[in-house]
Amino acid sequence: MPYTLDEIRAMDQEDPLAHTRSLFDLPEGCYYFCGNSLGAAPVTAQQYLFDAQQQWQSQLIQGWNQGWMDAPKRLGNLLAPLAGASQDEVLVCDNLSLNLYKLLGYITQHQNNSRKVILAEDQGFPSDSYICQSFCQFSGYEFQTFDPESISKSLGSDTATLVISQVDYRTGQLRDMKTITRLVECKGGEVIWDLAHSAGAMPVELNNLGVKYAVGCTYKYLNGGPGSPGFVYVSKVVQNNGWQPLAGWLGHKQPFAFDQEYTPSETISTFRTGTHSPLAYSALEASLKLLQKIDLNDVREKSLNLSRLFLDGIKEICKQHGIEDITPKPEQRGSQVALIHNQHGYAMVQALIARGVICDYREPGLMRFGFAPLYLSYEDSWNAGREVVEMLNNREYERKEFQVRQKVT
Ligand SMILES: Cc1ncc(COP(=O)(O)O)c(C=O)c1O
């Protein structure tokens, strides 16, 4: 190992985010590297959930007039500064996949009729691609994929909208938001950014970079809890522009007029569909309140330091065991380390989980280690690296019990 324990502990002592670990409830004895899949529970979430349950119990339907109804917008406004958006540009609602569908319809209704191609990444998160395909099935648009390394090749006068992740869910590759947005818009198309693996993990500058449309989820680095609602961002410049394709009663300008005619809300609220769950919003509110006090530049800096430390500790052993490190270089890295071992990747992850290093596996052969700087210390990263070394040295991944496939990997 290239560092001594004293050196690692000194890093933790100097860490401006050292105090944030105590703001989360984490089980003892595990090193948690799945903050890129499901963030940890803020300590305050318990009280927020309890209060929401109490409000339900004591206030019954009055709860809707005591903050429940406004939660999508209220939480959107808490999330906005974390994504570099202005107030009333973000709505917390439904999930990322549904919000993507809504944006595809919202955008394309006003585009030139000759623009009929929807572009999704060739190796992107499958749900983004499925939603684009499903949109095309029902609208007559044409679905195509593109290689994010050579986007301009796929753009043409028929490009309507391109969907791209700011951080690739597999490799952790960070994309250049400004350049890509300009590139597509110069060709007359629009871009929808998927912020699933960037929101909460680094500063995101939607307004500054001139981004018009984005979607995201809140259960990863935003720590909203399992299945917490997604969000949609629409710049003020392009709001109040007609229907979205999943128009429901709560997206109406006046939902309680119960009008049979649909009139879209003129605000971001037009992206609401039906009734949401105030219980789910309460846990997310706890986390978003906590995040208001965090400087995302500190988060970014620590994330890069953590992943560097981890990689330094395992580089040699990975080579010896034929594990390929596909993690991008630091300036192009999201908040994760990505290793590949085609034959034993799954079993290696299971063997690490048995040692308390909670990481995950994605086909084919991909081992992901997410770094959530708010609750992961330098010592955690260093210790986890030692566990990787021991697990590989003992060839624990060859054990029979680690070959058994679980439903969620
Ligand atoms: C990059 C990316 N896009 C889209 C999704 C789908 O999100 P949801 O299931 O909330 O719709 C995920 C989920 O993990 C994701 O990682």
**Spatial distance between the Cα atoms of 329 and 338, rounded to a whole number of angstroms:** 11
**Spatial distance between the Cα atoms of 176 and 180, rounded to a whole number of angstroms:** 6
Which of 50, 44, 42 has the alpha carbon at shortest distance from 25? 42
Residue in 220, 272, 302, 333 annotated catalytic: 220
**Spatial distance between the Cα atoms of 274 and 93, rounded to a whole number of angstroms:** 9
Q: Which of 256, 291, 326 is the last residue of a domain?
A: 291
CATH of residue 259's domain is 3.40.640.10
Residue 46 lies in a domain: no
87 and 196 within one domain:
yes
Cis before 2 (ω within 30): no
Residue 48 lies in a domain: no
Residue 42 to residues 15, 197, 263, 284, 356, Cα–Cα distance (Å): 19, 19, 39, 9, 20
257 and 144 within one domain:
yes
What is the span of the domain harbouring residue 329?
5-41+295-403
Residue 82 lies in a domain: yes
Residue 409 lies in a domain: no
365 and 244 within one domain:
no
* Cβ–Cβ < 8 Å for 338, 326: yes
CATH of residue 364's domain is 3.90.1150.10
Q: Is 55 in the pocket of ligand 1 (CB under 6 A)?
A: no
The reply to whether 362 belongs to the active site is no
Q: Which of 243, 261, 291 is the last residue of a domain?
A: 291
Domain count for the chain: 2
3-state class (DSSP) for residue 154: helix
In eight-state DSSP terms, residue 329 is: P
**Spatial distance between the Cα atoms of 13 and 377, rounded to a whole number of angstroms:** 10
Instruction: Provide the residue-wise pLDDT of the chain in tens; the chain has 409 residues.
Output: 678 999 999 999 999 999 999 999 999 999 999 999 999 999 999 999 999 999 999 999 999 999 999 999 999 999 999 999 999 999 999 999 999 999 999 999 999 999 999 999 999 999 999 999 999 999 999 999 999 999 999 999 999 999 999 999 999 999 999 999 999 999 999 999 999 999 999 999 999 999 999 999 999 999 999 999 999 999 999 999 999 999 999 999 999 999 999 999 999 999 999 999 999 999 999 999 999 999 999 999 999 999 999 999 999 999 999 999 999 999 999 999 999 999 999 999 999 999 999 999 999 999 999 999 999 999 999 999 999 999 999 999 999 999 998 888 7
123 and 13 within one domain:
no
Residue 224 lies in a domain: yes
**Spatial distance between the Cα atoms of 373 and 384, rounded to a whole number of angstroms:** 15
307 and 278 within one domain:
no
299 and 268 within one domain:
no
Cα(230) to ligand 1 centroid in Å equals 9
325 and 216 within one domain:
no
Cα(396) to ligand 1 centroid in Å equals 32
